Amino acid sequence: MNFTKVVGVILVAVLGGMLVIGGCFYSGYNRAVGLDEEVKSAWAQVDNQLQRRFELIPNLVETVKGFAVQEQDIFLGVAKAREAYFQGKTVADKAQAAGMVESALSRLLVLRETYPELKSNESFLKLQDSLEGTENRLAVERQRYNDKVRALNTFARGVLGKLYASLASVSQAEYFEVPEAAKTTPKVDFSKKPAGG
């Protein structure tokens, strides 16, 4: 074999190797960016459902207030939880505030047992149905978001994925987990008598 052929084979091998390595970096970089964008898109859908929930809450509170004026602690809890959500900067902050809202809402909805006239109020029933639909959509979007976070985090924790994520300035995302306090069943106190009851 002559020297030029050896050099040519070596050059072809080096160029081929560089193309393969470059292709891997290009592919890995784009995958990290794509996964990051999927997480952001999924969070936007969760945020849309949370916004819908927060738009329904004032009407629900006002409807209930007409029947249960003395339940100020519940109304204040709902208002504080809403405010905490809008002040939240990270997914964790917003998830914690959303959990506070879920807890406050469940306490608010339990009032229908104490105030039977709420059960037959058309506005309350419509709002309750709208809220239940929103909660169902929110649960689906939260699951989709967490699935995207899992995919990104799994990739970013891999040997090469960590490198690609670092090159693309992509970091692991936070799961949207419901705080333990929001998972507890609200306590119902039937010893209070409704106004005029």
pTM (global) more than 0.95? no
Mean pLDDT of 172-186: 68
Mean pLDDT of 166-180: 85
- Average pLDDT, rounded, for the chain: 81
The two structure tokens encoding residue 81 = 């939880």
Q: CA angle, 170 as apex, 166 and 175 as ends, to 5°? A: 130
CB 113 within 8 A of CB 190: yes
Q: Where are the alpha helices (DSSP H) in 66-121?
A: 72-87, 91-114, 116-119
For the chain, state the CA radius of gyration.
27
pLDDT (0 to 100) of residue 146: 95
Mean pLDDT of 35-45: 94
Tell me how far apart the alpha carbons of residues 183 and 192 are, in angstroms, rounded to a whole number: 25
More confident residue, 133 or 182: 133
CB 67 within 8 A of CB 194: yes
Highest mean pLDDT: which of 110-124, 126-140, 145-159?
145-159
Tell me how far apart the alpha carbons of residues 99 and 83 are, in angstroms, rounded to a whole number: 13
123 pLDDT above the threshold of 90 = no
83 pLDDT above the threshold of 60 = yes
More confident residue, 40 or 185: 40
